[in-house]
A = this chain, B = another copy of it.
Amino acid sequence: MGSREPRWLSTTEQQTWRAFLRGGRQLMEALDRDLVPYGMCLSEYEIISMLSEAPDHQLRMSELATIVVQSRSRLTHTATRLERRGWVTRAPFPGDGRGVLLTLTEAGLAKVIETAPGHLASVRARLIDQLTPAQIKTLGQIMTTVSEGMEQ
Copies in the complex: 2
Residue among A123, A128, A135 with most chain B CB within 10 A: A128
CA distance A29 to B151 in the complex (A): 12
* Chain B residues in 8 Å Cβ range of A27: 146, 150
CA distance A128 to B146 in the complex (A): 9
Q: Is the CB of A6 within 8 A of B138?
A: no
Chain A interface residue count, Cβ-Cβ cutoff 8 angstroms: 52
> Measuring CB to CB, which residues of chain A are less than 8 angstroms from any residue of chain B?
6-9, 12-13, 15-17, 19-30, 46, 67-69, 116-117, 120-121, 123-124, 126-128, 130-131, 133, 135-147, 149-150
Chain B nearest CB from A62 CB (Å) reads 16
